[in-house]
Structure 1
Amino acid sequence: MVNLLLLLVLITYSAQFKTFSIYVSGKERGNVTLTCQLETNKISDIILNTLSEIIAVCETEECRGRVFKEGNCDVVIKNLSFSDAGKYFLRIYYNNDRTDLEYQLHIHDEISVKTGEELKMSVLVSDAAKVKTNSSGEWKEVWTRGHGVQSDRMNDTDDGNLIIKSFLDRDAGSYRVLDTEGEILITVTVRESKEKLELTDDIKYDSVVSWIALTVVVLLLALILTAVTLHKRLLRGYLRCLSRRTRAPVALRTHNDVC
């Protein structure tokens, strides 16, 4: 009888305080909605929190908060960043009852990188336990908390950046950030950029001006070299004439005239 009574109490308690786990995903710099899935209009209060903090929820979007209530009890998070990824808990009070909702927020993004450029991903959030990539065709770890990067072509920084020093085509692929429970926090899809630098009108104009300036400089140098060479030849001829002077007045006059 005692065991049966305890079981009934447990069932009653579980029915009164329901907990559901919901997976949601949003793009970085985008918005995401944590839906409450309740149809009742008699909601007295909602409380949103993570494992480490309680988050203030504005009543309407007009209050200019990044997190605000929409409809009866849906919660919208605007302008997502990678640091928003993780678990959220929404507690809803209504009709002397309560429902607890648990969300796993996953954030994704796509970036293109040119070969040889530095790739910086701000994905090492506080809940990150490891980073995996499938760039080689199968998932492998490239970073773990406490051990850091597992390649000499990569760096990690104290401000949460995972860096590939010089991007190669074989680095393209998906990078997943996992928490200690193996839940996916962040996914970044990296592609090799095939774009070439297009010359704008300003760049074209600067190129033409530079080419003209270079041409003028080369011509001036050529003229200077020609003048110096001619001057040396004339001076050499004049000195040769002086060395051939004779004492005969007529011959000296003729020689000087030639010089």
Structure 2
Amino acid sequence: MALDFVGGSACVSVFLGLVVLDLFTFPVIKNHKLLHRKAGHDPYQGIPIQDTVKGAQDIYRHHRFRCLNLLLLICFINYTESYTVGNISIHVTGQQGENATLACNIEDRDIFHVILTSLGRNIPVCEMKNCSGRFFKKGSCDIFIKDLHLSDAGKYILRVFYNNDQTEVERQIRTYQLHIHDEISVKTGEELKLDVLLINADKVEKNSSGEWTEVWTRGHGVQNDRLDDSDGNLTINKFKSTDTGTYRVLDSEGEILIMVTVTESGTQSVGERKDGTEHMYWRVGLPVILVLVLVGVIVFVVIKKRQRLNEGYSQGSQSQVLDSL
């Protein structure tokens, strides 16, 4: 972490040098003047000591002005290196629940440390295989993010420290803009909660007919009575078909943080549809079964009656033959 403040340390060093110059320059000049006069070889003989000290003050002010310029130059170089090298953002897109990689795209070098920050705070990066976090160092300096959350969206700054050919410590900076996408299917009449009101979110827009309209803005809240914002959630009460569409979350710079596509799943859940299908089977199948049973019974009765008639006819014929004999 201390390596991140190399330029700042240089600024502090020059500033301390100015303080030391203030403390010791005047006493040394004045004592040197008095010693020359006591020794009898004063090069400024005849000149009041106040004038010589005044001249020394002018010389000192000139040197201090040059030192101050040096201090400002060092601080400016450090500021420029820290904030303009990573000025071009690398856009990375990921799906919620999946993985994403922040590629550093730095040639193989003796990289020994990486620092990842977002919203001014350090993000712990696991550099070991057995680690319980979601941010991992992959390869030389790539950052692998596991199981993306909507709250992961935003700007990231990666500082990579390495040794150059002269074994001197150098640093490169990469800036990323991570966008998270998601898809949600909602049943009509249900409540929909979108966990999209991040700390860096500035507004939420909806697109359902080719035009983007604001549904929430920071400082003004929701734009619809059926919407509610609380605990970082944008809630749609009693979901309707008109609520379907794409919702996007923008930061104060207009960068897209999150995009959520919302679709309508119908009025019945999977369990309800299954129960309804089974009920339909019983309503249609039971009468068919009863009809088949009834037809079977009728056929059975008819067959039995015919068998009895045939048996009676056979017995009657035999009696008539015997009587004739």
TM-score, normalised via structure 2 length:
0.56
Residues 133, 196 of structure 1: alpha-carbon distance in 2 compared, 3 angstrom cutoff: same
Q: How many residues align?
A: 206
**Superposition deviation, residue 79 in structure 1:** 1.4
Runs of 4+ in 1 over 6 A off after TM superposition: 10-17
CA contact (8 A) 1:136 1:170 kept: no
Is 1:148 the counterpart of 2:215? The answer is: no
Structure 1 match to 2:69: none
Correspondence 1:33-182 to 2 at 5 A: 33-95=101-163, 96-157=169-230, 159-182=231-254
Q: CA deviation at 1:51?
A: 2.1
Q: Is the 8 A contact 2:150 2:258 kept in 1?
A: yes
| Structure 1, unpaired ranges of 5+ | 1-5, 209-259
More helix by share: 2
User: Larger relative CO (CA 8 A, sep 6+): 1 or 2?
Assistant: 1
Matches within 5 A, 1:10-25: 18-19=85-86, 20-25=88-93
Task: Answer yes or no: is the 8 Å Cα contact 1:51–1:87 preserved in 2.
Answer: yes
CA RMSD of aligned residues (A): 3.2
| Mapped contact 1:134–1:173 kept (Cα < 8 A) | yes
Distance 1:61 1:152 in 2: 49
CA deviation vs aligned residue, 1:201-231 (integer Å, no higher than 9, x gap): 79959x98xxxxxxxxxxxxxxxxxxxxxxx
CA distance in 2, matches of 1:123, 1:15: 33
Equivalent of 1:186 in 243, 251, 258: 258
- Whether the aligned pair in 2 keeps the contact of 1:36 and 1:74 (CA below 8 Å) is yes
Query: 1:87-141: per-residue Cα shift (whole Å, max 9, x none)?
Result: 1000001122211000111111011112222111110111111000012431010
Query: Which secondary structure state, in structure 2, belongs to the residue aligned with residue 181 of structure 1?
Result: coil
Paired residue secondary structure (1:117): coil
Q: Calculate the TM-score normalised by the size of structure 1.
A: 0.69
CA gap of 1:90–1:195, structure 2 versus 1, over 3 A, is same
**Contact 1:60/1:70 (8 A) holds in 2:** no
Sequence identity (%)? 55
Rg: which structure is higher? 2
> Which amino acid letter does the alignment assign opposite residue 166 of structure 1?
K
Check the 8 A contact 1:18/1:98 in 2, yes or no: no
| Deviation by residue 1:34-68 (Cα, 9 ceiling, x = unmatched) | 10101223102110011231011111343222111
Higher fraction of strand: 1
